[in-house]
Amino acid sequence: MNRLALGLAYRGEAYCGWQRQANDDTVQARVEQALSQFADVPVTVTCAGRTDTGVHAINQVIHVDAPVEREHVSWVRGTNRYLPPDVAIQWCQSVDDSFHARFGAIGRRYSYLLLESPVRPALEAGRVGWTFRALDGDAMQQAAQMLVGEHDFSAFRSSQCQAASPIKQMRSIDISRRGAYWRIDFHASAFLHHMVRNIVGCLVAVGAGKRPVSWMAEVLAARDREHAAPTFSPDGLYFVGPDYDARYAIPTRPPSTDWLP
């Protein structure tokens, strides 16, 4: 069999997350069904990062041991024929058998898009988070830098998290603004369940003046979820994609998504 790596983009509003479930519509189920229809044999996939209900992906990477021989462009266009409009394969390439979409990832990136507006979003509903309070970007950036480095992120971890260890390396957090929209970019070795959304909740609390900048360090040191802000909405969360060893030459993002975070 020929091992393939494929990149997916999808909107998460309509799905109960990535992972296949018995009675719910998920992205994995849709992708495996489409690949199986195209290949005319059952196909299963492994992904780089399982996204939650309502979370989007720009470059979700999967690998599959292809049961049939097809051109790369055929895997993309042929499979997309069987996918709904909000899910699409963006690229396909051959990789050697040592490549593993999940365990081979050496880093992951997420972005959170946040609308600052007196009223809730309409056109962007489901695709951005929302705050009606004015935010102080400098305060948020200062608070965010307290999380950079290797830390125990238990304070930002969901009670349902199955990760073996809460210790992760946050490589960077960058905050920018364009008009009424804030963008928060996260790069880490890996992420815990709800980690980004819980951090965003804390950053918004600091930016809105409800908490001082120093509070972020206190939350981190407490290692207790009860000390952090409520989990923020999944609407504005995008899995930008994983990092791999350069020898695999995995695309970091497809050209069709350049307008996204």
**Which of 149, 108, 135 is closest to 213 using CA atoms?**
135
List the catalytic residue out of 24, 25, 40, 52. Answer: 52
Q: 137-145 and 195-207 helices cross at what angle (nearest 10)?
A: 130
**Which of 104, 96, 102, 103 is closest to 3 using CA atoms?**
96
52 is annotated as an active-site residue: yes
Are the C-beta atoms of 33 and 79 separated by less than 8 Å?
no
Distance CA 236, CA 129 (A): 4
Are the C-beta atoms of 111 and 183 separated by less than 8 Å?
yes
Q: Which residues contact 28 (CB under 8 A, 6 or more apart)?
A: 18, 19, 20, 45, 47
Q: Which helix (H) or strand (E) holds 202?
A: helix 195-207
**Which of 177, 153, 147, 156 is closest to 165 using CA atoms?**
153
Are the C-beta atoms of 106 and 115 separated by less than 8 Å?
no
Q: Annotated active-site positions, please? A: 52
